[in-house]
Amino acid sequence: MTRSSDVAAFLARVPLFARVAPADLEAVGQRLRERTLRKGQVLFREGEAGEEMYVVRQGSMVISKPVTGNVEQVLARAGPGDFFGEMSLFDRAPRSATLQAETDTTLLVLDRDNLERLIETSPAAAASFFHALVRVFIERLRNSTDLVAEVTRWGLEATGLDVEGR
């Protein structure tokens, strides 16, 4: 089995790629490179420039934001099959959180140059990838909208305002 076939077999088990055809997974796999991190190693910090997205192949990552001084608030953990950093492929904005290896970790990396090559050489694979990302973005947006509504309700309840309109 070639390296890209091995990567494609892994991607087939990743929810992001669940609906991507095997041939397209192979094309995507050819554009990914591996990166390993030791436990405790910081991949990037909030505010740094970025142009890569990552899929956790093995291990786990901690996603956090600085609160004050050296204090970080853990937002989430990413394990095998989870991905992050995709926003930087498109908007070139600074990283929105800090990512650190919780364990020894292997990541699959897609940078902007390889994404552009995928678009040029395998437009169908690129379209499948973009479609999969859009589905995830929509799900995340809906979850964020629900969270904003819930936090707003908590704030209203904490101030004593009647949220039921009575």
DSSP E strand stretches across 39-104: 42-44, 52-58, 61-68, 71-78, 83-84, 98-101
Structural domains present in the chain: 3-159 (2.60.120.10)
pTM, 2 dp: 0.81
CA angle 94, 95, 96 (to 5 degrees): 110
The residue to which tokens 């192979």 are assigned: 26
Contact 81, 104 (CB under 8 A): no
- Looking at residue 128, its pLDDT comes to 87
For the chain, give the percent of residues with pLDDT over 90.
49
Taking the C-alpha atoms of 145, 67, 35 and 78 in order, what is their torsion angle to the nearest 10 degrees? -40
- Looking at residue 40, its pLDDT comes to 96
Amino acid letter for position 128: S
Contact 33, 117 (CB under 8 A): no
Token pair of 77 as six digits: 């953990």
pLDDT tens sequence across 63-82: 999 888 788 889 899 999 99
Token pair of 94 as six digits: 């600074």
Could you tell me where the DSSP H helices lie in the chain?
3-11, 22-30, 88-91, 112-121, 123-159
- Looking at residue 14, its pLDDT comes to 92
pLDDT tens string for the chain (166 positions)? Answer: 457 678 999 999 998 888 888 989 999 999 999 999 999 999 999 999 999 999 999 999 999 998 887 888 898 999 999 999 988 888 888 998 999 999 999 999 999 999 999 999 999 888 988 888 888 888 877 777 766 677 677 777 777 766 565 5
**Helix or strand holding residue 106 (H, E):** strand 105-111
